[in-house]
Amino acid sequence: MQLILATSNPHKKTEIEAIFATTLPHIEIINFSEILSPFEIEENGTSFEQNATIKAKAVYEALLIARGEGEYLVLSEDSGLCVDALGGMPGIYSARFSFVEFGDNSWQSKSQHLHNLSLDERNLTRVVYELQSRNLRESHASFVANVCLMGSLQGHLVHKNFQGVCEGKVITTPQGNMGFGYDPIFVPKDYTQTLAQIETKNEISHRRRALVECGEYMEMCVRSLYRF
């Protein structure tokens, strides 16, 4: 069985493969861009669940157009960092926070000197900047992930969402190099290291928690011979 990811992010694919390796070893995981011409998906939802659903639906409908009716399972994921001191931001804007209007927008003048940074680094730097501009060194925060499974099996429509949360705090001194995104400034609850320093990150991440629920649902479907 193929599980088609509604993402072109190689980091997310690697993490999803690692999480499903033991629970769903017979599923082949591929990015949608490997079987479809790449296209932009407008994420205009107001929540992680809405954006995850938008992405899954876009890829599923594209598969139907390109390949016709068939058995497809599409998995999408939308996730982000929600910082209490920033009113829940960057939230659903986490992937592009460095370009979002927020606060007094003094960030804009600083960002003009950051062209040599990657997008991930710019987004992280924006969070650090916003905290420091409020004279804060840390804040309670949570990583949230919503996974949407959509498709058709045995003539039954599949559509279910799963949400995972990892509580913790953000700090203003990035540490570690094993993660991506905001991992270097996020310290999970009951830990003293950031996600970018924790080798077992996949065992505690917000994405894992959502994907484990999704995987259990998929296993249940297989055991019941695709009776949804």
> Which residues form the catalytic set?
78
Distances (CA, A) of 51 to 120, 161, 186: 20, 11, 23
Residue with the two structure tokens 């099996």: 153
Cα distances (angstroms) measured from residue 137 to each of 94, 197, 208, 214? 20, 19, 28, 36
Residues whose CB is less than 8 angstroms from the CB of residue 200 and which lie 6 or more positions away in sequence, other chains included: none
Report d(CA 179, CA 177) in Å as an integer: 6
Residue 139: alpha-carbon gap to chain centroid: 21
Query: Token pair for residue 55?
Result: 């992405």
Supply 175's token pair: 């540490």
Q: Is the CA virtual torsion 160, 180, 187, 89 positive or negative?
A: negative
The tokens for 48 are 């992680």
- Tally the C-alpha atoms within 13 A of residue 121's C-alpha that lie toward its C-beta: 8
